[in-house]
Amino acid sequence: MRVVTQTEQDNASRYAMKGWFIGMAQWAGVGLFVSGLAYSFFPWYRKTQTVNKFYIVMCFSLGGGAYKSDRYMVNFERRGRAAMLDESTRKRYDILYGGKDKEVEETKKVLETPSQTTAQ
């Protein structure tokens, strides 16, 4: 298990809640559409109480919110894992090939030393 800070937990929960609201809105729309179709074509649905119809649409929205929240959380974890891999690869390349900092320092040293051709 990876140790995470409170900031990372807050960012993950905000991102998951964003997914929750998006999924809830999407699937509530689907639920309303299905409810409208059922009302149009099924007489038994027309006889159903309004409270039960609301419950059916609410189930669509809650299920969609939970699904989309989970997808957003998985994507958030994948992005974090990819960033960690990129960072470790960058460190490994810096160890093997030298980092940009070393190249900049070497360039400054070369530019600061007086050239022998200009001294003559």
Tell me the percentage of the chain whose pLDDT exceeds 90. 52
* Residue 38 vs residues 29, 56, 59, 116: alpha-carbon distances, Å: 14, 11, 15, 90
For 5, phi then psi, to 5°, come to -90, 170
- pLDDT of 117 > 60? The answer is no
Judge whether residue 69 has pLDDT over 80.
Answer: yes
What's the number of domains the chain is made of? 1
Domain membership flag for residue 11:
yes
| Category of 96 on φ-ψ map: left (φ > 0), alpha (ψ -120 to 50) or beta | alpha
| Domain span including residue 95 | 6-112
35 domain-assigned: yes
Q: Is the pLDDT of residue 96 over 90?
A: no
Measure CA 79 to chain center.
Answer: 7
Q: Is residue 67 part of a domain?
A: yes
Q: Residue 93 domain-assigned?
A: yes
Of the pLDDT bands very low, low, confident and very high (cuts 50, 70, 90), residue 61 is very high
Residue-level pLDDT at 50: 93
Residue 106 in domain: yes
pTM over 0.85: no
The three-class DSSP label of residue 4 is coil
